[in-house]
Structure formats: structure tokens, C-alpha cells
Amino acid sequence: MPIVPLRDESRLATVPQVVPSPQIFTVYLPPPPEVGIHSAIFKTASTLRDAGSSPGSALDALFAWRQTYQFRRPVPDQELQDAWQAVFFQARARSTISSGSSTKADFVPRWPVANPQKRTELVTEGFGLVDLWENSPIRFEDTAAHTRFILERLFPDDPLLCLGWTMSHFDTRRLSEWNSPESMQFLTPSPMIAVAGARKSDGYPSAHTLANTGPRRFLIVDFDDRSGLDSHAAAAWHLSTKMPLALVLHSGGKGLHAWFWVNGLDDDELIPFFQLACELGGDRALWTRSQFARIPDGTRDNGQPQRVYYFNPEVLK
């Protein structure tokens, strides 16, 4: 059981909102998952908050958690701090509940947790992955990878795209300059505005940063829970009644990625849609505009194809 140590005040140099506290906080933090690490960081921060940790102690707990376990990919300080700030500061709504002379502050996460009952009520019973494929305007009936064909329609005019062999090995190039994109795992689902941008963590240039990611073009919902591919397909199909569905692919793991066309919409307009997506089982991590998503018809590191089951480029017009 990881034990959160005494708080290291030097960690808080870049986060002046924290009021130093002498609290020592002890809580069990489970090992990180193989996939969905970004989401797990948010869940861990929420666990600490709900268990009564002060903000400063929770930040130390996140750093101790990272140090205790072996993560599948590097987890920078900034990613931990962003999740911590979102959970403890940006996403809380206070409602005062009087109880005698005491008051209590309720903390409401910005993104709700999965709601199986709501999914049962909203999604079409009996709709599954085969139905999604049969409803696809463009269907690929062979086993070849059609990655370039798909990307040229999702991202016309040869824009800069950030593609990743892994989460930590990536580059930004013109689409026409990418050889064998079907061999890649990841891409940023919006065109980049420059080949590099300053990292939030240290200011150094990188090909994959929020600073060089252009306006949001697609909002991707990653269904990675264990409810099954048919359930994921039905949830994606229901969400298509709220926002145009451009593409659905298999992650090569246990779920589906559903690409929704949101070009020109402000984030404030998209929040209710993404909140519903989270209630239907979507992972909140892909809300971040620069977050890597699975590349259509790419190849996962386990060798499994990230096969496209639904493709409708007409919604982009």
C-alpha cells in the first residue's frame, strides 16, 4: 500500500493556488491500467478528493503514486498537475448544505462517470457492431489497410498531422510526407498549426503539444469499458443523433473510437454532448484537444489492426 509522504513544498512552486498544509494523508492507490492512463490519473485524483485529502496532500499523493508503480508510458509532471487542478479547482461547484452550525462543500466532477442505467434507457436494444457496419456509407470488405484513403478525406488539403508510433515517439509532418501511416498507432485528430510547439511542462519545443494543435476538428469518444463492442456501437449510434458521426474504428484492444465532426463549434457548445458521452461509457481523456487517438486502419503495438467499421466522410461537407 503506497503511503503518501510528508508534503514536498517545492512541488507546488508552479501552482500557487495551494495553501500549505501540514496534513499527512494515507490512502491506497491501485496500480495504473495498461490502457487509459490519462483517465486513470483523473480517477486517482478524484479518489483522493473524495477520501478527504487536502489539495496539497493530493498532489503529493499523485507524485508518490507515479513513483511507486511502473507505468506503461512516461507521465510528465504537467499531466499530473493538470488532472489535479481540474479535479480540485476547475471542476467543482459549491453548494452549501447547512447542518447545525456547520457547512459542507459538494464537489461535482466536470465529466460524469458511466451510467449503465442511462445507457440502457437511451441506446437501441439489439443494435450492435454488425448493424453499425451495415449502416456505414463506405464499407471496406477486404482486410487491407485504407489509412491514407481515410486520412485524405478526414484531413483534406495536405495539412500538418502529428502521428505517433508510440505515445512517446511521434512527429509532425504534412500528410503527403507520411510513409506507411497504416503502421502507426496514434494521431492528433486535429491538424497542427506548426511542426512544433512549446511544452507546458518545461517550454521546450515538441512536435506534439497543445500549443501547436489547431482548432478542434473532431471530438472522439473512446469506449473502453468491458460492456462489449455491441454496447459501444449502440452508444456511438445514439450519440450520432446529437452530433454527426464521421468514423468508428476498433482500438485493437477492447473498445471502439467514435469520431464526431465538430469543426467550428466552441467547447462550451460541446460540453453537454461530451458529458452524455461519458455517461454512456466514454473516456473523458480524449476531451483534451491534443490527446492522441487511435489512427484509422492503423496497427496497435500488439499487432492488432485498428479496423474501421463505419466511415461517412459526407458529414464533413
Cβ-contact 11, 81 below 8 angstroms: no
Q: Are residues 43 and 135 in the same domain?
A: no
Q: Are residues 50 and 190 in the same domain?
A: no
Q: Are residues 73 and 144 in the same domain?
A: no
**Domain stop point among 74, 90, 106:** 90
Please report the pLDDT score of residue 3 as a whole number.
38
pLDDT of the chain, 317 residues: tens digit per residue: 443 333 343 433 333 333 333 333 457 888 998 878 888 898 898 888 888 777 777 888 898 899 888 888 888 888 888 888 888 776 443 333 333 433 333 344 478 888 999 999 999 889 999 999 999 999 998 989 999 999 999 999 999 999 999 988 999 999 999 999 999 999 999 999 999 999 877 788 999 999 999 999 999 999 988 889 999 999 999 999 999 999 999 999 889 999 999 999 998 899 999 999 999 999 988 998 999 999 999 999 999 999 999 999 999 98
Q: Are residues 188 and 53 in the same domain?
A: no
Q: Are residues 190 and 129 in the same domain?
A: yes
Q: Are residues 294 and 217 in the same domain?
A: yes
Please report the pLDDT score of residue 36 as a whole number.
81
How far CA 56 is from CA of 19, 36, 63, 174, in Å, comes to 7, 25, 11, 43
**Domain stop point among 90, 125, 156:** 90
From the list 258, 250, 255, the residue with the least C-alpha distance to 218 is 258
Sign of the alpha-carbon dihedral angle for 255, 256, 257, 260: negative
Phi, psi of 2 (to 5 degrees): -65, 135
Q: Are residues 167 and 276 in the same domain?
A: yes
230/308 Cα distance (integer angstroms) = 15
111 assigned to some structural domain: no
Please report the pLDDT score of residue 26 as a whole number.
56
98 assigned to some structural domain: no
Specify the number of domains making up the chain. Answer: 2
Please report the pLDDT score of residue 88 as a whole number.
79
263 assigned to some structural domain: yes
165/150 Cα distance (integer angstroms) = 18
What is the CATH classification number for the domain harbouring 258?
3.90.920
Q: Which residue carries 448493424 as its cell? A: 131
239 assigned to some structural domain: yes
Please report the pLDDT score of residue 90 as a whole number.
61
Residue 75: domain span? 9-90
Sign of the alpha-carbon dihedral angle for 214, 184, 292, 117: positive
Q: Are residues 125 and 71 in the same domain?
A: no
Q: Are residues 127 and 264 in the same domain?
A: yes
36/83 Cα distance (integer angstroms) = 14
Q: Are residues 257 and 124 in the same domain?
A: yes
Please report the pLDDT score of residue 105 as a whole number.
39
Q: Which residue carries 455517461 as its cell? A: 279
Q: Are residues 250 and 299 in the same domain?
A: yes
Q: Are residues 60 and 201 in the same domain?
A: no
